Structure 1
Amino acid sequence: MNSQTILAGLGAALLAATLLVAGFAVCCLPATTQTLAQAMSTGDDSPYTHDELVPLAVATRAFTVDAVPDRAAAADELAGLVVQTAREASAEGAPKAPLWTTPAKEAIADEAASPTEAMEALAQVGDRYALDADAMSHLEDCNRLITGVSSWLGMIAVAALLVAAVLLFQKHYAALAFMLRMGPAFLVAVLAVLAVWGVVDFNGLFAVFHSLFFVDGTWTFNYDSLLISMYPLNFWMGMGAVWAASAVGWGLICFALGCVAAWRAQIQQRRA
């Protein structure tokens, strides 16, 4: 086994991982959350309307995904939006005002309280009204995970690019073609297995995925909680579809480039 073969194999593995990361990056875009929340966050079991849940879902995405210098300020900003929305949703004449109990209205009546204090008081009444401590803790865990591994994931992409550049510079077109075609092929094989698993038992796949990164019991919430109302099961199924479609889309581009490299390899071989 020569160095070209080893490099091509390593490059294929790095490329498959890079494509997976690229798909995840698309999932993290504000537009993705906006679109899926618009389609999935119905609010049927929530004291908030659909039109109120969508902006909350987008703001919660920012708190969960974005790296900010002051997490306390970010939490206070999110709490402020939740409390403001709660006051509008519970106001007399609002579409879902009848679903707001007297204790819930009293929890947000004190406008002198800080947004965080007001949201905590509202969450004590019920997690269907606000993000409680468990929900905020889980969102913080997600943020630490995403921001913590982002630089490492970026390094994987850089490594894949370097391997491709080395093979191209040295005109090892056959090895480059192997890398660019086998990377996407391996990714598709993995996604196919996960897709079958998801169709058969999406809840099981969802549970296994979370258990890899989070402590059991820290990521399960009541079906009518605000967090689940913003992000119901269909939302995550849609997110999985976006992830897979984005990764495969980038993979098809790489595969096409691999076909070009294979054509160059054939010309190179004929000339030799």
Structure 2
Amino acid sequence: MGSNSILAGIGATVLAITLLVCGFAACCLPGTTAALAGAVSSGEDSPYTHEQLVELADVTRAFTVDSHRDAEAAAKELAASVVDAARAASAEGAPKAGEWSDAARRALDEGAAPLDAMEALAKVSDRYALDGAAVSHLEDCNALIVGSSSWLGMIGVAALIIAVLLGVQRQWAALAFMLRMGPALLVALLVVLGLWGLVDFNGLFAAFHSLFFVDGSWTFNYDSLLISMYPLDFWMGMGVVWLGVAVGLGLLCFAGGCVAAWRAQVQARQLAEQAAAATGKKGKKGKKSARK
């Protein structure tokens, strides 16, 4: 690879990161949340129905991962959705009406602003609404995701630029190294994390959160609204989606690397043939000079 070995090494590293980010991006899609919440958010231990939990999970996803021009307006929108669902779920004759206490119904004062109503409801129990700790954690997640998205996007662009540059320069061996080593690095990381998850998924989940959040700020009651929307099985499903997308794209890159490796072999053979032909011509010219 010569002088392009360093560039190929950098390219492999940023490609591995890009594949990982693409997997995470797939997890943030509305369809992913809807599908997983629809599969695992049963509502058995919740005062909300399964359908309401799925709808609230989608609204909460948007609050958590989407960029907001006005954070306060986004919080009000989230609170309004929770309060509307609470009023519907606690209404007389509703399927889960028996799960609602008189105190919870009193907290749903029709005249209260959504944020005030949700706060009052959460004080009765976090089964009914997102309390301040839950909203704060979601805001922390939003700041992390939105704040890092531009930097992660730049890493993806860097991977693309390096690949295009190596391709334009016909540095097929270097490009093959990048496209095959990047997925290999990703798989090595995923194997380690996968084994950890199989042995102790809760430990992996805790370690992942402790990298970005203060301890205690991301733990909630098992029957809280947040956990009812996103139970452990939801996050395990997210892990499968993340893994599937990242590895799938990695396989495509690896296939591209195999093509580049074949091009490198063809290129090397052509250069060798050209060198042999040039050597043969010099030999013939030498013989003719000797005869003269």
Where on the TM-score scale, by shorter chain, does this alignment land: which range? over 0.9
Match of residue 99 from structure 1 = 99
Partner of 2:4: 4
RMSD: 0.8
Query: How do 1:84-123 and structure 2 match up within 5 A?
Result: 84-108=84-108, 110-123=109-122
Residue 71 (structure 1) aligned with residue 71 (structure 2): yes
Which residue of structure 1 lines up, in the alignment, with residue 211 of structure 2?
212
Give the Cα–Cα distance (whole angstroms) in 1 for the partners of residues 99 and 218 of structure 2: 26
| 2:21 pairs with 1:21 | yes
CA distance in structure 2 between the aligned counterparts of 1:44 and 1:203, rounded to whole angstroms: 22
What residue number does 2:255 align with?
Answer: 256
1:186 matched residue in structure 2: 185
C-alpha displacement of 1:2: 3.5
Give 2:277's aligned residue: none
Q: Take 2:3 and 2:55, find their aligned partners in 1: how far apart are those partners?
A: 53
Alignment match, 1:195: 194
Distance 2:222 2:2 in 1: 56
- Counterpart secondary structure, 2:33: helix
Identity of aligned residues (%): 70
The offset of 1:84, in angstroms, is: 0.6
Deviation at 1:3?
Answer: 2.2
Name the aligned partner's letter for residue 224 of structure 2.
S
* CA offset digits 1:135-185 (Å, max 9, x no partner): 000000000000000000001001111111111111100110010011001
TM-score by length of 1: 0.98
Measure how far apart 1:92 and its partner are: 1.0
Q: Secondary structure at the match of 1:112?
A: coil
Map of 2:286 onto structure 1: none
Larger Rg: 2
2:58 maps to 58
CA distance in 2, matches of 1:92, 1:76: 26
1:21-69 deviation line (CA, Å, top 9, x unaligned): 0101101100000000000111111111111100000000000000010
AA of the residue aligned to 2:100: W
Paired residue for 1:233? 232
Cα distance between partner residues in 2 of 1:161 and 1:84 = 45
Distance 1:136 1:147 in 2: 16
Structure 2 residue runs without a partner (length 5+): 272-292
CA distance in 2 between counterparts of 1:44 and 1:186 reads 41
Partner of 1:40: 40
Aligned length: 271
State the distance in 1 between where 2:86 and 2:34 align. Answer: 20
Query: Quick one: which amino acid aligns to residue 71 of structure 2?
Result: R
Q: How many angstroms apart in 2 are the aligned matches of 1:6 and 1:105?
A: 65
